[in-house]
Structure 1
Amino acid sequence: MLFDRRREPAVAGGPRMLRILIVAADGGTAWRHALADGEARAGWECAGPLALAKRLGRLYGLRGEPASHAERVSAYAARLALLDDGGRSFSASRAKDPFGVAAFLVGFRDLLRAAGWDGGPLAGSPRLADLAAAERLSGPGLSPLPSGLADVYAALLAEIERASSLPEPLALQVAAPDAALDPIVRRVLTALAVRGAAVEPAAPEEPAAPESTDLGRLQRALLSSTGAAPAAPLANDGTVLVLEADSPLEAGELTAAYLATRPLADATLVAGADAGALEATLARHALPALGVTERSRRRPALQVLPLRLALAFAPRDPFRAAELLMLPVTPIPWDARRRLLDALVEQPGIGSPAWRKAVEDAAAHEAARARAERPDDPDAAREAERRLRERIETWFGGVAHDPAIGLPAPDAVQLCESVARWAEARARAGEAPDPVLQAAAHVARTLERLVAEQPPGTRFPPVQLEQLHDVAAGAGMDGGAPGEAGRAAIAHEPGAVHAPAREVVWWGFLGGDPGPSPEPWTAAERAALRSSGVSVPEPGARRGAEAAGWRRPVLAARDRLVLVRWRLDGAAPTVAHPLGDEIAARFERALASVTVTSEAALAGAARHVAPARSDRAPAPEVTPRGVFNVPPDLVSTDRLSPSSLEKLLGCPVAWVLEHAAGLRRRGMARIPSGNRLLGTFAHALLEDLLHGPERLDLATATPDDAASRAGRAFDARVAQEAAPLVARGAEVQRHRAREVVCDAARALFGLLQDGGWRVRGVEEELRGTLDGAALEGYADLVLEKDGVPAVVDLKLARAKYYREKLQDGEALQVALYAELTRTKGVLPPTGYFLIGQGELLTVDRGAFPGTRARELSGPTMQATVDGAREALRFWRAALRRGVVSSRREELREASELEAGEAAGCPAPASGPGAMDPPCKYCEYDAVCAVELREVAR
């Protein structure tokens, strides 16, 4: 055993003895099995390198805890900035990534300090000389480099060697091989032993299981020398098991089913990759929480700072703004968030007309709320409005800096300080401090300090600021529940299993990226370091210690070893653990004979694992539903718009959910992009060109004048109203979009001049009735000539779609706009102007002369209006009887038949009432139909 449980502290009246079990890694509770069941031992503790430094620091009156990684990287970056003359070994890399280089080199520096380097001159290579120069650098305003763990041990070593005796009796038992501990740690242990500490070296590795079992054979094989022929396969006696599934979630279910039948108090669990999946599964099975959820910097409160920093650069990304507004914790009140999100959907850019209107509306709402809550305070409304405007400006305004030049350090400090103040105030607002918000405030304060420490005049490009934020945030913060009583002992890595246990379960028995070499020195550097008294490890020593750590879970198991792995990491196959390759070299068929798959366990074909299964019959098959019944008084069709009427005739289910129930999908997914973005922006530019404050005169300007004016307007407004087009990497799309807008302006201007039309209005509000229902909407473009109006609808793409709508008599929206502008009983001419093609489609012959108009054969607009009136009458009759029908293709015939029975007449067979349902673009398709897709393996 690694520790003699029978050894007790001195008897009463004797000297006090502090006993420390020294292991290779900090954290975890694998030490629990070094104590007898239920034993509580005073004066005994288990310590990794960090915990040992803290304990010895308290004994010797020194600071035993190193500074944070963020502080050290920032300070080293400042040191390298002063040292860099352009000719250093790191100069070229530092020009591209100063903080990445600082983190890399401070790691090298710490390796040397841990190997015994005292900071003196070094030779052997330019980088060693540069490391020594950075260490000796001094000057006004340059503070000492904050201590790392190796520096803490160096200070402890100096204090131990200075003292002639121990502060109190010590008994140190080492449970880690020499190669797993840094040379500076071993020197401290030697110095303690010289002054009277009882230091017991690591015991030789020995098998813990009987030789007759699979586990005993495996342990002895791993301890034997290599080169022998592979032994016979494992006998599958249950002492070694491999649990295997496709995904971490499936593996978690299999593991939880296994652990539910085992004595957890006697087990050690190695929490390897994706421990969060196992933690979630244990909770579902009502098993004790392990408290091993991974650290993450993606928790919502921790995202506020990087999103705010991203919005400090031009062009401000509307997607980042939407992310900030959609976080569960955000500085903006809910009503204002909703309005601002809607503005981003309408015009994706901060500062657009829609954004400014949203700010005004939100401020008015906030003032009204304050006025209602404090009617006796005449200044309440004004103050509430001021605070909201100031808050929106703080989080979304200010100067937008050029990313190529960078954000000035004082501005970055101010942004960090504002985020920190907000998070600190929110953290204190509840009954108990919020740890996530406290962590967010800490990251913001840390980044604020790191930025402030950089040389005067420093500017931070976006990538560099992100890197510095990652340094400040580290691995993020823990989440999930803390560990609960009754759980297994926890080891956070294989080498941390240092005490024998009845069972060892290794979760995440998978390989991965081995990372950079822990021995990065060339032969010349190694020789130079040794001549300077720096005892760097022999080549392969650290990798050998890592391989020995992999064997620890196997050797520590007395009764059973369970290895858990999965086949897929997302869509990619996982990598086998290197220890599996070693086992494969020693046994025929490796671990195949002891592997239990999730499929075999569920089928009841596994010998040693029997997950709980239910005999309950499966739920009935989910079938599509074509008709819904609702109380008639909940659905009103008294007020409609052309677009809502088109949705009603296309699918009453979708219309009821959107317009009667008020259900809408919100959020970032609806921010327009591609053709949808360009269509909205082009609409605004063309409409302003024809009817805005700076409109061109159709009588005097030329089509080329219109194209030139449209191009200038595009350049001036694109960053605010269509920001995705100015994002990095969108240069080609932006150039193409500008060409489309200019060509469309030229064509539309020429079309109007050829026909002698003048513009009566854009987005003109129209009102009227259809079959007794109030109808109102906004027409894109209303023209007039000799007192006769015309209606033109602007569309970007899908020329074939709109051509077919006109030819089939289903151009409902433009027909209804014509109905609402009807004068003297005559339906005015109408058409679709296709922005992308620069042509107008119409069925009204002779109304739009010139080469830019294309006349199609199809029903008249009057026939389309009559068809819409008939269809509206039909569906209103069905809705008045509470029948809401889906027009999805596979449900259409039966649902329309039932609707016809309710309405007392058959559904329309042609025209707008028979157009195809909009299922392809429907947001509510899951209500009427369910699609089950098999996932290919």
Structure 2
Amino acid sequence: MDLDRRPHVRETGYAARMPLHEADVDTREYLNVCYLPGIADLSLGDEFPQLLVVFSRGFEHGRSSPAARLGLMGVQEIAEGGRGGMMDIVFGLHADAGAWPEHGGTGSAASGAPVVGPNGFVEILETARGLGAPSTPNVVRIAAFEAALEKLDGPSRFWTKSLKVDGWATARTLLRWRDELVDAGWDPAAGWTNPRLADLAAADEAGAVLPPGLADRVGALVEDLAAGPALPIRRIRLIDPRDVHPAGWRRLLDRLELCGVAVEQVPLAPAAPDGTALGRLQRWMMGGGPLDGEPDGTVTIATSASGALAAEVTGQWFAERGDREAVLIAQNADTHLLDHGLCAAGQPRAGRSRASAHRGSLQILLLAFKIAWTPFDPRALMELLAFPTSPIAPRVARRLAAALEEAPGRGSTVWRDAWAEIGEAELADAHGDPAKLKKAHAHLERWLEWVEPEPADPNAGMPLTAALAACDRTIAWAGARHAIDGDQLYAATVALASDVRVALVKLAHEVLPRTLVERIIDQALDIGQDNPAAAAEAAKWRCVPQPGSLWAPAETVVWWNFRTTQEGLQRQPWTDAERQELADKGCPVDDVRLVGRAASASWERAVLHARGNLLLVAGGLDSGDDEALHPLAHRLAPATEKLASCVRIEDALAAPTITVGGVELRREAVRVAPLPQSRPVWPAPAGYRERLEGLIHSATSFEAGLGCHLKWALKHVARLRPGRVRSIPDANQLLGNLAHALAQEIFVPGDPPSAEAAKERAGELLDYLIDQIAAPLRLPELAAQLAEARARLPAAMAELARTVVVNELTIEEAEKQVSATFENALSVRGAVDLIARDKNGQHVIIDLKWTRNDKKRREELEQGNAVQLATYGAMTAGDGPYRAGYFLLNQRQFATLVEGGLIGRAVEGARGFPATWAAVRESWRKLADRAEAGQLIACGVEGHEEHLPADLPIVLEANCKWCDYQTLCRVRGLA
């Protein structure tokens, strides 16, 4: 039954829907192949009872194996009098990367004629022999092997010290060695004399129940086929040379021949005519032709320092060729950038995507564990809350994220208030309905488990039950999300968490240290997941993810991303003595060069199969360097220097035409428009005055407006805000927040504490407050800032108390919210850090500042520009007298004006605070009049001074470096 080639049904998720060819059935029926755990059952109803498709390892925990992605690859007709059911298989070492629906051969896919790689081939044979079972992820096998190593009694082994230091890495390495030996025909009971081989034999016997890997499965098939059973396979055609297959596969092919299966080599010969440069290159590669002639465009090496430009030109190249057939080799199985170029040229996307461990929901399991370790990491929790489809409902996540941003910790007043509001809202929505109330309580309990799990010490370890609970939460959430929208990332997340859960159980540890848990998760994430948004589109040309996937001549071969690769690199750990003993006992390990030979053969095969044109494209900053090109480029260098057309794709930016791969690409010059210029005056829009009505100001907004009125108008009037996400404050802000919280706790209304009492109280409160509002300081990377907080903050509180005492002040209130309305409806609101009164009852304003350098605040006092102190004083004291100053926490200094008479670091100022407030109001009035006249001044632009109102009492310096609007006023330009 031939199946129509339908590229638009590549990997459709759980089901592939494909029409049967009209020649095979009377009516046009459809095959629905559904991948279920362990088996895919094909049912066409009573009309076709003789047809059965079984995939023994097709789908496990929501993740398809490479073989399952091949679609109809193992059809076995089993009814008496059926149509035969003898398969004709094409097998290649690299065909598992994705051969259905687009393989690197000729013709359309057909049931009974699969193109498979190692995993797919093993599954066909296991199905035919009834040996199928769910495959075991490598992370589970490593965990089981580590448990076996830890339980191994007896003398010290060669891995003993390594196992104690890093058990997981040791088990992973030893398991790989053990699998290599199994592939070579390893028998643990053969009485090995070499110490390392003897130790590995003991480990293998200790892990007798080790889940089978691919080498074990191949070995089991070799043993099963020893009796020569009949198989539903007529012929196996090998893409790769037989002698580059690993030892286990060579033995399996030998056994298949004994079972009557024909094993043939797919013929390989130069596909291009002898008279072309490509043909001469191919014959030289095969050792049968001289290097003569000149380039004729049939062999092209195109390089570009810009990957985006390479993608653009390659897309245009496909467009110019129209519907001519070609094979696109997407090295590393990634066409993300190329797809942009294809789409821009109106071409179908290739839709290949490199598997990545960093895709969306795959990170949720790791976050679930990060939140549970001590010290608490607010950044991990913020990531969980900000995730688009977070396990926490959006209405809840927003409240908790806001609380976490304000006070990064758990247990603060802000955090408790957020939970109280959430609980009240959820219960209120139930309207007293018992069923809804029960559901609301269940939701609250589940959210609390995610956000506040039982903390675990990273060194002592997390109890196994708690670790399994984290896996179970992730599985339940991802499974529910997948049921809702069918996103394959959620199915992959279910598989990931399930694999980690099984691995944790296999380890048989009562407690699990953090490093071990994270190693396991990283190992499970190693396989990654394709981008679900990378959808392939129907095209005349085919796309294969690896050069070795190409196994038949093609008119044109385009090798995208022709850059260096690690493929083919492998080291074997065996010494000469060990290799000799292995060979003597019938277990000869493969030559260390075998993997490299197999890779080299697959690369050369891609070149030899090009019939008319070969285009090699490399993009990247170093693409022109020899060491950055693919290793095959060095193998072909003697020939390509004479026969290949070398193209610098950058030439496409400066010429009306460029010839690539024998195709002339026409380019059009882009008209360049001049960039907007900066200007100091911008027109105020209509209705500007009306938008000012009801606007509430603050000391900070006054500072912003007096520094740059355009910035103030954009931020406070137009309400233009930069894009942002919730984030955790940096270390400096955390230290400032801690200082304010300490001051609020220590300086309560009444007589101030002594310096010694304040310091002692700060020491008592510090750790408690750090956990509540500055938890990031507990993290290792902020250890220096934590030490600084412990050393400086108690001393700062002591000096603040000493300042209050020596000035004979009484505390009125800390962190007091104040507001006032002045003439012309000027409304101001703010929070004063510390308000005190002197012995005459006059107000004293103390503004706490955590700053690395005290220069800015001292200059404000000297120049009469202390806007914040003047504003707070006017709001607090009104028209009455008051005094004020900055308490610089980091420097432990009280900076104030000489005229105030307060004891501290007195500064001679140009004017007092009431005069500064008057200057602020007058300057604000003049700037407002200028804006109402239609002018907003950009004070960071050169020449703005001449546009400012005359005799402006106070002018602050515009800080363009940290302004969010510097590209709008063109101070910075458009970069």
TM-score, structure 2 normalization = 0.84
Correspondence list, 1:749-760, <5 A: 749-760=801-812
What residue is the counterpart of 2:848 in the other structure?
A: 794
What residue is the counterpart of 1:394 in the other structure?
A: 449
Offset, 1:320: 1.4
Q: Which amino acid aligns with 1:152?
A: R
Q: Percent identity?
A: 31
C-alpha distance in 1 between matches for 2:137 and 2:161: 27
Check whether the contact 2:684–2:931 (CA below 8 A) recurs between aligned residues.
no
What residue is the counterpart of 1:924 in the other structure?
A: 965
What residue is the counterpart of 2:732 in the other structure?
A: 675
User: Does residue 1:629 correspond to 2:685, yes or no?
Assistant: yes
What residue is the counterpart of 1:150 in the other structure?
A: 215
Q: Which amino acid aligns with 2:478?
A: A
Q: 1:703 to 1:125 in 2, by over 3 A?
A: farther
Check whether the contact 1:529–1:535 (CA below 8 A) recurs between aligned residues.
yes
What residue is the counterpart of 1:269 in the other structure?
A: 328
Q: 1:327 to 1:663 in 2, by over 3 A?
A: farther
1:362-388 Cα deviation digits (max 9, x unpaired): 3344455x1xxx65x466896676456
1:188 pairs, out of 233, 236, 252, with 252
Q: 1:774 to 1:538 in 2, by over 3 A?
A: closer
C-alpha distance in 1 between matches for 2:643 and 2:376: 56
C-alpha distance in 2 between matches for 1:34 and 1:649: 69
C-alpha distance in 1 between matches for 2:203 and 2:377: 40
What residue is the counterpart of 1:422 in the other structure?
A: 477
What residue is the counterpart of 2:178 in the other structure?
A: 109
Offset, 1:17: 3.8
1:861 pairs, out of 894, 897, 913, with 913
What residue is the counterpart of 1:20 in the other structure?
A: 89
1:254-278 Cα deviation digits (max 9, x unpaired): 2212222236662222111453222
Check whether the contact 2:568–2:598 (CA below 8 A) recurs between aligned residues.
no
Correspondence list, 1:88-127, <5 A: 88-121=157-190, 123=192, 125-127=194-196
Check whether the contact 1:23–1:49 (CA below 8 A) recurs between aligned residues.
yes
Q: Which amino acid aligns with 2:911?
A: P
What residue is the counterpart of 1:215 in the other structure?
A: 278
Q: 1:275 to 1:583 in 2, by over 3 A?
A: same
Unaligned runs of 5+ in 2: 1-80
SS at match of 2:556: strand
User: Does residue 1:472 correspond to 2:537, yes or no?
Assistant: no
Check whether the contact 1:156–1:188 (CA below 8 A) recurs between aligned residues.
yes
Offset, 1:834: 0.7
Correspondence list, 1:196-207, <5 A: 196-203=260-267, 205-207=268-270
1:649-675 Cα deviation digits (max 9, x unpaired): 333444344444555557567422132
Q: 1:908 to 1:464 in 2, by over 3 A?
A: farther
Offset, 1:407: 1.5
Of 617-626 and 679-688, more deviation after overlay is shown by 617-626
1:762-817 Cα deviation digits (max 9, x unpaired): 11122222333122221111111121111011111131111111222221111011
Of 334-343 and 315-324, more deviation after overlay is shown by 334-343
Correspondence list, 1:842-853, <5 A: 842-849=896-903, 852-853=904-905
Check whether the contact 1:53–1:64 (CA below 8 A) recurs between aligned residues.
no
C-alpha distance in 2 between matches for 1:750 and 1:515: 72
1:49-89 Cα deviation digits (max 9, x unpaired): 22111122222222177422222222222222222768222
What residue is the counterpart of 1:581 in the other structure?
A: 634
C-alpha distance in 2 between matches for 1:341 and 1:253: 41
Offset, 1:585: 4.5
SS at match of 2:819: strand
Check whether the contact 2:93–2:118 (CA below 8 A) recurs between aligned residues.
yes
What residue is the counterpart of 1:8 in the other structure?
A: none
Q: Which amino acid aligns with 2:205?
A: R
Q: 1:638 to 1:527 in 2, by over 3 A?
A: closer
SS at match of 2:766: helix
Q: 1:504 to 1:338 in 2, by over 3 A?
A: same
C-alpha distance in 2 between matches for 1:189 and 1:684: 74
Offset, 1:862: 1.6
User: Does residue 1:722 correspond to 2:755, yes or no?
Assistant: no
Offset, 1:412: 0.5
SS at match of 1:44: coil
User: Does residue 1:178 correspond to 2:178, yes or no?
Assistant: no
1:834 pairs, out of 867, 884, 888, with 888
What residue is the counterpart of 1:568 in the other structure?
A: 621
1:544-599 Cα deviation digits (max 9, x unpaired): 222222212111111111111123379999723222222234564796x5233233
1:397-428 Cα deviation digits (max 9, x unpaired): 13222212221211110111112112222222
Q: 1:932 to 1:610 in 2, by over 3 A?
A: farther
User: Does residue 1:781 correspond to 2:834, yes or no?
Assistant: yes
Check whether the contact 2:295–2:642 (CA below 8 A) recurs between aligned residues.
no
SS at match of 1:767: strand
C-alpha distance in 1 between matches for 2:624 and 2:700: 41
Offset, 1:753: 1.3
Offset, 1:758: 1.4
Q: 1:240 to 1:831 in 2, by over 3 A?
A: same
Q: 1:515 to 1:305 in 2, by over 3 A?
A: farther
1:159 pairs, out of 221, 224, 246, with 224
Correspondence list, 1:358-507, <5 A: 358-367=418-427, 370=429, 375=431, 377=432, 386-387=441-442, 389-430=444-485, 433-461=486-514, 463-479=515-531, 480-486=533-539, 488-507=541-560
Check whether the contact 2:280–2:291 (CA below 8 A) recurs between aligned residues.
no
1:95-135 Cα deviation digits (max 9, x unpaired): 23322222222222221122222443463543322322122
1:206-255 Cα deviation digits (max 9, x unpaired): 32223332212322333339xx9x956x7331111112112332221122
User: Does residue 1:639 correspond to 2:696, yes or no?
Assistant: yes
Of 404-413 and 509-518, more deviation after overlay is shown by 509-518
Of 795-804 and 656-665, more deviation after overlay is shown by 656-665
Check whether the contact 1:305–1:416 (CA below 8 A) recurs between aligned residues.
yes
What residue is the counterpart of 1:531 in the other structure?
A: 584
What residue is the counterpart of 1:820 in the other structure?
A: 875
Correspondence list, 1:868-907, <5 A: 868-878=920-930, 884-890=936-942, 892-893=944-945, 896=947, 906=949
Number of matched pairs: 884
Offset, 1:290: 1.8
Offset, 1:389: 4.1
C-alpha distance in 1 between matches for 2:694 and 2:702: 9
What residue is the counterpart of 1:324 in the other structure?
A: 384
User: Does residue 1:54 correspond to 2:123, yes or no?
Assistant: yes
Unaligned runs of 5+ in 1: 1-11, 898-905
What residue is the counterpart of 1:251 in the other structure?
A: 310
1:685-735 Cα deviation digits (max 9, x unpaired): 12322128xx9x63xx54233223223322332233212221113322211
Q: Which amino acid aligns with 1:175?
A: I
C-alpha distance in 1 between matches for 2:233 and 2:898: 104
Check whether the contact 2:105–2:551 (CA below 8 A) recurs between aligned residues.
no
C-alpha distance in 2 between matches for 1:379 and 1:861: 61
Correspondence list, 1:58-77, <5 A: 58-63=127-132, 66-77=135-146
Check whether the contact 1:265–1:486 (CA below 8 A) recurs between aligned residues.
no
Offset, 1:305: 1.3
1:834-877 Cα deviation digits (max 9, x unpaired): 1111111112425312xx43233321112211111112223444
SS at match of 2:527: coil
Check whether the contact 1:831–1:841 (CA below 8 A) recurs between aligned residues.
yes
C-alpha distance in 2 between matches for 1:643 and 1:295: 48
User: Does residue 1:738 correspond to 2:790, yes or no?
Assistant: yes
Q: 1:481 to 1:607 in 2, by over 3 A?
A: closer
C-alpha distance in 2 between matches for 1:278 and 1:122: 55
